[in-house]
Amino acid sequence: MVLAFLELAQGEFTDLSLQMLTLAGDIANQMNTGVQGVLVGMKERTAAGDVSAYGISKLHVIEHEDLADYAPAAWAHGVLQLMDILDPKVVIAAGSDRGNELLARVGVRSDLPVAANCIAARAHEGLQVTRVRWGGSLLEEAGLHVFPALLTVMPHMLVPVQPGSIESETDIIIFNPTLSEDDFRVRLVAREPAGEGVSLTNAPVVVSGGRGVGSAEGFESLETVARQLGAAVGCSRAVTNNGWRPHSDQVGQTGAQISPDLYVACGISGAIQHMAGCRGAKHILVVNTDPEAPILQRADYAVIGDLHEVLPALSAEIEKLRRQ
């Protein structure tokens, strides 16, 4: 059995969870077995909905009075206790912050290896995985020779699993783990809201600038277009290194990994580490003076020109359209 760690946001499975289920289903098929899901938390039972449409026959919900909010060691301990009962061949999670941390903690406590950033797997002498290295510059073929095989899935490389027809209701099974004080040495004590403005992670459109913007002030023309489109402003690592924008705006391997409907990349050359942050975008529009810039390889649309001239002209055109 393949046990899939699922994550919810606003009561729905995250897109990364659905991408992960694509690989989970593929592995289960190869092993002639099924996928069961696991959720952690007190509110998840009602939020779970019917997951049989995603090919999940049984959904385990780990509930404990102290699991109202995130406590990573306790979550991992709960999952480990469930694994002891279910004896899964594979435990798989999305390559989100939580997915990577949870599986790392499960691997540590059970002394098992973990393969992170996987995009494919073959059931052969255990599990052979293909994982992404150096942010995507290279792929690695690696072997996990002991069961259960633990792996996380590289974000935005696989298509999300499509809901099928609901043939039978999912069996929801509540599991109450035994947790101790030791499991709560690290726990979330408070939340602080994000700053003003459109959130980079959830924005449908992101207008992003790179070295070509030239200065902090140079972002004004990007801000204007972003305001007109209800978009968030992003940037490349060169920009944060120069102190032009805060790191929270950074898109890339060591920044945010986003999947907007449209990513407008202005003055960004498109190093692989940057593309690791925006490859989930449905469409990429480039504004760049260099027709040979690597980002054009990954773009859908491009304007060859100086962003400081193109963006103000674009703002004026958008304004015209809105007045019509």
Partner 1 sequence: MLAEDAREIITRNLGFAISPHEECAVEAAVQLVEQHGGTTTVLTMGEPAAVDQLRFAISMGVDEAILIETDGVDRDAAATSAAIVDTIRVEQSGDAPFDVLLFGNESADAGNYQVGLRVAHALNLPCVAGIKALQIHADGTAVAKREVPEGWEVYELVLPAVFTVKEGINLPRYPLLRGRLAAKKKEIKIYPAPERGDAGLEMMAFKNPPETASQVQILGEGPSAAPVVAALLQKLGVV
Q: Are 186 and 44 in contact (CB under 8 A)?
A: no
124 forms part of the interface with partner 1 (CB under 8 A)? no
| 225: Cβ contacts below 8 Å, ≥ 6 apart | 207, 231, 264, 311, 314, 315, 318
Under rule CB under 8 A, residue 68 binds partner 1: no
Q: Name the 3-class secondary structure at 312.
A: helix
Phi, psi of 138, rounded to the nearest 5 degrees:
-140, 160
Decide: 154 and 132 in contact? Cβ < 8 Å: yes
CA distance 274 to 253: 6
Does position 43 interact with partner 1 (CB under 8 A)? The reply is no
Task: Report the nearest approach of partner 1 to the CB of residue 82 (Å).
Answer: 19
The residue among 32 and 324 lying less far from partner 1, judged by its C-beta, is 324
Distance CA 123, CA 148 (A): 12
Q: Cα–Cα distances in Å, from 259 out to 152, 175, 291? A: 18, 34, 25
Nearer to partner 1, 66 or 171 (CB): 66
Which H/E stretch holds residue 122?
strand 114-123
In the complex, minimum distance from the CB of residue 173 to partner 1, in angstroms, rounded to a whole number: 28
- Looking at beta carbons only, is 217 or 292 nearer to partner 1? 292
The one among 68, 138, 174, 216 contacting partner 1 by CB under 8 A:
138
What's the closest the beta carbon of residue 128 comes to partner 1, in angstroms? 7
CB of 8 to partner 1, least distance (A): 13
**216 forms part of the interface with partner 1 (CB under 8 A):** no
Measured from the CB atom, is 88 or 277 closer to partner 1?
A: 277
Q: Which of 199, 215, 216, 220 binds partner 1 (CB under 8 A)?
A: 199
In the complex, least distance from residue 284 CB atom to partner 1, rounded to whole angstroms? 9
Distance CA 160, CA 13 (A): 11
Interaction residues for partner 1, span 241-280 (CB under 8 A): 241, 243, 246-248, 250, 253-255, 261-262, 273
DSSP code, position 42: S
The 10 Å Cβ neighbour count of residue 131 is 21
Report 283-302 residues binding partner 1 (CB under 8 A): 283, 285-286, 291, 296-302
